Amino acid sequence: MKKTILSMLLVATVSFASSVTIEGFSSPESVIVKNKDVYVSNVGKELKPTAKDGDGFISKLDTNGKIKELHFIDGLNAPKGMGIIGNTLFVADVDTVKGFDIKTKKEVFSLSFDNVTFLNDITIKDKHSFFVSATDIGAIYEVNIKNKSYKKVIDFTTANGLFYKDGILYAAELGSSPKTMFDGKGKFYQINLKNKKLTRLGTFEGILDGVQKVGNKIYVSDWVNFEKSGIIRVYDIKTKKESVLKVELFMGSADLWIEEKSNKLYLPQMIGNKLTIIEL
């Protein structure tokens, strides 16, 4: 059944130029690019996204995939989504968002959340705030870094990947409910922050993770299942056309990042312990 569904998904594809895959990570979940540096969050040796085991870390690479420091920042638990404001790298780590100066590696920010065990993705709103998803309780929060506070923006089932642009928040579901996170029925929405209206985008469902909008196209990573079948979906917000990138099947299609100047897509393979860089 799963193989049949996957074959149908791959009929409409978008070609890419080339790709390179880097190995040696430990359950890499998220990636972000700042200037000529690439940061990758590693949950740890075991795929335990809510465990406070202290073996999580951040890696630093160049934009071609050469590892500069595998353990750039150590001592985290299960770091996932990241965002950068100025020189501060913010990281969602189980129930806390931490911030590190990317020049000195020093921790400069810490904000703990009540009754949350699965903070997931981060997307920057402006110079003083960002959004973070809490998958376990189905919520999206806005964090103010000036006064170190947070507030709930909206209840959102199994909130996972987030991307904010031009007043609109795009959000992907991991599954249909917190109790069935990996049932393959997660959907993708845009959220009007003024009236809290949710508008579903696309007809697809999946185990949805990373999200980024570039031009009229929105890229969404989808685990499909927990075998070698992760894919990257493409939704054209103007034409409403849906397609899938013509690439290898990924082992855990996690939180992607697209560097628009170089037109490169960075995708952690969370189960495969790899990072793939695709030239779009």
For the residues 93-109, what does the mean pLDDT come to? 98
pLDDT of residue 3: 40
Q: What angle do CA 226, 230, 232 make, to 5 degrees?
A: 150
For residue 180, give the DSSP letter.
G
Instruction: Determine what percent of the chain is predicted with pLDDT higher than 90.
Output: 88
Q: What angle do CA 36, 85, 53 make, to 5 degrees?
A: 85
pLDDT band at 165 (very low <50, low <70, confident <90, very high): very high
Higher-confidence residue: 157 or 225?
A: 157
pLDDT of residue 17: 54
- Segment 13-60, tens digit of pLDDT: 555 558 899 999 999 999 999 999 999 999 999 999 999 999 999 999
Mean residue pLDDT across the chain = 92
pLDDT of residue 113: 98
pLDDT for residue 1 is more than 70: no
pLDDT of residue 246: 81
For the residues 72-80, what does the mean pLDDT come to? 98
- Sequential DSSP letters for 67-118: EEEEEEEEEESSEEEEEEETTEEEEEETTEEEEEETTT--EEEEEE-TT-S-
CA 34 vs CA 61, 133, 245: distances in Å:
11, 22, 24
3-state helix, strand, coil in the chain (%, to 5): 5, 55, 40
User: Considering only CA atoms, which of 232, 166, 173 is closest in space to residue 198?
Assistant: 173
Largest CA distance in the chain: 51
| pTM assigned to the model | 0.93
pLDDT of residue 14: 53
For the residues 94-114, what does the mean pLDDT come to? 98
pLDDT for residue 4 is more than 50: no
For the residues 205-215, what does the mean pLDDT come to? 97
Higher-confidence residue: 41 or 227?
A: 41
Torsion of CA 198, 204, 210, 214, to 10 degrees: -80
- Say if CB 153 and CB 132 are below 8 A apart: no
For the residues 172-194, what does the mean pLDDT come to? 93
pLDDT of residue 249: 86
- Segment 244-256, tens digit of pLDDT: 998 888 999 999 9
Q: How far apart are CA 270 and CA 268, in angstroms?
A: 6
pLDDT band at 226 (very low <50, low <70, confident <90, very high): confident
